């Protein structure tokens, strides 16, 4: 079964549960937000990658309009709901300024396992420590969901999109673990090179080896 959903394509991936603040200034999206506010409808943010609207996106609920400008621009707060798949895309929706699509809302198995979560969060802590990033790491591994940290593990935009398309938590855990296991040695090597580069040009107190 498909439903029509107004679309707001962006060059980013939005994950379920995420809160997103948007500045609205284009006429087509001012129209969209007004209709969401007046009629209580939702809209979708599909990723825009390689100059095209991708097939998967995330349904978005308008939470509040925080500010309205003199020219109709708005600052809004939103909440990401669930992933959808586009079946038919309309560059301009009928009688509207914005685009839209016939979409299918996808079911998601959000049941993960504790042991992979422990390893994921340990890897994330190592990543933050190596890069000297001052961010807290979630501690509740039983109820933790991988979507909640997907913007913080060093995914590229394309990897974030691939991650969004995975429809169950156990496969997302495996994807994230594999990524961290590959990324951490690279980050450690790059950080070592950075530190060496910072030492260049400084006087060094070194002890020469004893050559027999």
What does the domain layout of the chain look like in residue ranges?
A: 3-105, 114-199
Mean pLDDT calculated for residue range 14-19: 97
| pLDDT (0 to 100) of residue 197 | 73
Q: Tell me, which fold does domain 3-105 have in CATH? A: 2.30.130
pTM to 2 decimal places:
0.88
In this model, does residue 151 exceed pLDDT 90?
yes
- The residue among 196 and 46 whose pLDDT is bigger is 46
pLDDT band at 1 (very low <50, low <70, confident <90, very high): confident
In this model, does residue 170 exceed pLDDT 70?
yes
Mean pLDDT calculated for residue range 30-44: 97
In this model, does residue 29 exceed pLDDT 70?
yes
In this model, does residue 209 exceed pLDDT 80?
no
- Asked if residues 55 and 87 have their Cβ atoms less than 8 Å apart, the reply is no
pLDDT band at 193 (very low <50, low <70, confident <90, very high): confident
Mean pLDDT calculated for residue range 63-82: 96
| pLDDT (0 to 100) of residue 143 | 80
- The residue among 201 and 68 whose pLDDT is bigger is 68
| pLDDT (0 to 100) of residue 211 | 60
| pLDDT (0 to 100) of residue 141 | 79
């Amino acid at each position: 079964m498909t439903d029509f959903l107004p679309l707001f394509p962006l060059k980013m991936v939005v994950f379920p549960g995420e809160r997103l603040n948007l500045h609205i200034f284009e006429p087509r999206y001012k129209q969209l937000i007004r209709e969401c506010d007046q009629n209580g409808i939702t809209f979708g943010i599909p990723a825009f990658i390689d100059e095209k609207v991708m097939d998967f996106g995330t349904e978005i609920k308008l939470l509040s309009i925080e500010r309205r400008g003199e020219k109709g621009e708005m600052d809004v707060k939103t909440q990401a709901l669930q992933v959808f798949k586009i079946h038919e895309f309309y560059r301009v929706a009928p009688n509207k300024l914005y685009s839209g699509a016939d979409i299918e809302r996808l079911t998601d198995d959000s049941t993960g396992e504790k042991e992979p979560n422990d390893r994921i969060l340990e890897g994330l802590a190592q990543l933050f420590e190596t890069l000297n990033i001052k961010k807290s790491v979630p501690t509740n591994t039983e109820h933790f969901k991988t979507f909640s940290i997907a913007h913080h593990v060093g995914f590229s935009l394309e990897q974030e999109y691939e991650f969004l398309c995975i429809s169950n938590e156990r496969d997302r855990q495996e994807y994230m673990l594999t990524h961290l296991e590959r990324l951490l040695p690279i980050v450690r090597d790059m950080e070592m090179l950075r530190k060496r580069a910072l030492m260049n040009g400084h006087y060094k107190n070194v002890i020469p080896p004893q050559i027999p």
